[in-house]
Structure 1
Amino acid sequence: MNKDPLQATPGLHTPADDPVGVGGLLRQLMREVPELFSKELALAKAELQHNLSTLKAGTAAVAAGAMVLLAGLIILLLAAVYALAMVVEPWLAALIVGAVTVIIGFIMLQSGKKQFEPSQLTPDRTLHAMQQDKDALKRKLP
């Protein structure tokens, strides 16, 4: 009869029973870490593909909505021309509504164009965080 409680418990091993030492554990770790990375990469790839599919569906919905919105805007501009044509000549009404629309569009275009300037595209927070990491490493290393 075995009196050692560790030996009596199934599934519980003592260091003396385990033929795998530190070297064996390191070999096992070296085998499992690349496998873990490949599984993580596969998961990230699958997640990105799912997110891309969702993005495609959202883009299609936005494009369809924009087309309907544009059609509605054209109808409203036409209504403005008809309403103004009751006061002035129809050609002058169309000219006035068209000119106002072009001016508004130009202003919107200029304000949107500012969003594409290089200063707007700089990842300021990331650069700041990287600079902080660099400074912290300089302080810790002699």
Structure 2
Amino acid sequence: MTTPRTTPSPAAERRGLFALIADVPRLIGDLVRAEIASLKAEIAGKLKAAGIGAGLLVGAGVVAFFAALVLIAAGVLALSLVLPPWAASLIIGVVLLIIAGIIAAAGIRSLKRGMPPTPTDTIESVKDDVRAVRGQRK
């Protein structure tokens, strides 16, 4: 009796042209699925940054609202202070508005980082893939 071969022959390892061509649709499908996954990840990241920016802007609005309340309260409470009432109200109001401005600037910066929510990295990757399929270089 003969023993079966455990290693494939070199001819079995080599694939024919038709077998390679038959794999092209599968490879293109894998490439498309990978690009779609990249697109999803990029859009999710940009939308997350936009959401954080919007949240920071809401926080800035809340601080600005409290600044208005403090300005009113400072007008009443500052009557008994050493400073004139208008000066005490002005100092507290300006400090709170500066804080609101800092929060708003951070929110705007985060919104700009997430906008526009177009998948620029994925688009460039797809363009590179199309160039590679066509056999072109940049």
- TM-score when scaled to structure 1? 0.44
Relative contact order higher in (CA < 8 Å, ≥ 6 apart) = 2
Larger radius of gyration: 1
TM-score (norm 2): 0.45
